[in-house]
Amino acid sequence: MAFQLFKNLFTTQTPAAMLSQKATPPPRPTIVRVDGNDPTTTTERLVSIIERDGGVIVENLISRDLALKIKNDLKPYFDIDKVDPSGFFPHTTQRATGLLGKSDACVELALNPIYINVANAMISSTHTYWAGQKQVTVTAKPVISSTVGFRVNPGGRQQRLHRDDSWVTPAPETIRTVADTIKRDYHTRSCDMPMMLGCVTALTKTTKENGATIVIPGSHLWGPERCPYDEEAVPVELNPGDALIFAGNTYHAGGGNVTTDECRETVGIFLSKPFYRQAENQYLVVPPETAKRLSPQAQRLLGYGICLPSLGFVDYQDPMRVLFGVEDEETVDM
């Protein structure tokens, strides 16, 4: 027995035997799916999944009827869109923007309670300050950063992987002085992330082949030095009315459409913390004369309200009162 043990210690394995014993590579991470109509799909559950994975698929976020109405509303804008000169969007991609001023159905989508509740939980801004000898804590809700509809036509190439909040990507944790801060004054800290939240809803069936959005699960936890790779991404396949809700610092991209006869149509509603400048100028694409017919909730989502304690006033008054005559529990007295 001792001889056999000694022999085993010094016996060499053939390459084939060694290969057969190699560990199986771990499975590629996936994006969790939940049903928006399931009572267990709570805000707390969705926030927990997004914080862990960077995103979650919510099936039945909106009805197929609402998805079809949005599709019909955006068709004339898709049809006249011009090629993106920057090259960020493939020449086969057609877009529609400023959606809350163009489609009441898009307003309904933007106010979807599942999405709004998740956004309020994740990217509201809470601030505590002293007013004389009184300590005050205020909370401001997210606002729209941008809205866009996409029609990806056959032959469209894949977008490059990116983060939607790349202009506020966390700086290295080496900022120690005022001078360091000035050098990086448009950055934020890792602990402040995410700054944005995205919701991409399918208007048509989206598949890997026709250009479904691709996402790298867990990439919202990466630092700015980490490079994303296409092979790390997974396709987000959706039926009309399903949606991907994801943190703005999660790497993703529009997929390539390798079909010959299918268009992939989606609509994105992107929200940000209320004190950040919006990517799309909502006051031009949905000016007051257009916004006045919307609900106060939609008006505030566009950014017409006050970000407490006092960002966004007009003549030291709340624009909701000045522009729209709104007097409710959220109207701010300055």
Q: What is the residue-wise DSSP string for 134-172?
A: EEEEEEE--EEEEEEEEEE-TTPPPPPPB-TTGGGPBPP
Question: pLDDT tens for residues 268-312?
Answer: 999 999 999 999 999 999 999 999 999 999 999 999 999 999 999
Q: Hey, what amino acid is at 140?
A: A
Mean pLDDT, residues 87-110: 90
- Say yes or no to pLDDT of 181 above 60: no
**Distance of alpha carbon 296 from alpha carbon 330, whole angstroms:** 9
**Distance of alpha carbon 1 from alpha carbon 247, whole angstroms:** 60
Size of the chain, expressed as the number of residues it contains: 334
Instruction: Output DSSP code: residue 101.
Output: G
Mean pLDDT, residues 156-171: 77
Question: pLDDT tens for residues 32-78?
Answer: 999 999 999 999 999 999 999 999 999 999 999 999 999 999 999 99
Tell me whether residue 306 is exposed, middle or buried, using C-beta atoms within 10 angstroms of its C-beta: 0 to 12, 13 to 18, 19 or more: buried
Asked if residue 248 lies in contact with residue 199, where contact means CB atoms within 8 angstroms, the answer is no
Q: What percent of the chain has pLDDT over 90?
A: 75
- Model pLDDT, residue 311: 95
- Model pLDDT, residue 334: 87
- Model pLDDT, residue 175: 47
- Model pLDDT, residue 22: 54
Work out whether strand 214-215 and strand 234-235 pair parallel, antiparallel, or are unpaired: antiparallel
**Distance of alpha carbon 84 from alpha carbon 252, whole angstroms:** 19
Q: Which two tokens stand for residue 242?
A: 């399903």
Q: What percent of the chain has pLDDT over 70?
A: 82
Instruction: Output DSSP code: residue 62.
Output: S
Q: What is the CB neighbour count within 10 angstroms for residue 308?
A: 20
Q: Hey, what amino acid is at 111?
A: L
- Say yes or no to pLDDT of 234 above 80: yes
**Distance of alpha carbon 58 from alpha carbon 243, whole angstroms:** 5
Look at 166 and 152; give whichever has higher pLDDT.
152
Angle at which helices 113-123 and 43-53 pack, to 10 degrees? 60
**Distance of alpha carbon 330 from alpha carbon 305, whole angstroms:** 9
- Say yes or no to pLDDT of 236 above 60: yes
Mean pLDDT of the chain, nearest integer: 88
Partners of residue 59 on adjacent β-strands: 35
- Model pLDDT, residue 87: 64
Q: Where are the domains of the chain?
A: 30-130+141-293
Question: pLDDT tens for residues 104-157?
Answer: 999 999 999 999 999 999 999 998 999 999 999 999 999 999 999 999 999 989
Asked if residue 165 lies in contact with residue 272, where contact means CB atoms within 8 angstroms, the answer is yes
Look at 92 and 260; give whichever has higher pLDDT.
260
Domain 30-130+141-293 sits in CATH 2.60.120.620 = yes
Kindly report which listed range (32-36, 80-84, 95-99, 124-128) carries the lowest average pLDDT score: 80-84
- Model pLDDT, residue 97: 96
Residue spans of beta strands (DSSP E) within 41-157: 55-59, 93-97, 125-131, 134-140, 143-152
Nearest to 54 by CA among 225, 196, 255: 196
Q: Hey, what amino acid is at 251?
A: Y
Confidence of residue 29 (pLDDT cuts 50, 70, 90): confident
Question: pLDDT tens for residues 168-180?
Answer: 544 444 445 545 5
Asked if residue 257 lies in contact with residue 155, where contact means CB atoms within 8 angstroms, the answer is yes
Q: Which two tokens stand for residue 323?
A: 């522009």
- Model pLDDT, residue 88: 66
Instruction: Output DSSP code: residue 334.
Output: -
- Model pLDDT, residue 25: 58
Tell me whether residue 256 is exposed, middle or buried, using C-beta atoms within 10 angstroms of its C-beta: 0 to 12, 13 to 18, 19 or more: buried
Confidence of residue 186 (pLDDT cuts 50, 70, 90): very low
Partners of residue 93 on adjacent β-strands: 152
SS3 122: helix
- Model pLDDT, residue 224: 86
- Model pLDDT, residue 165: 83
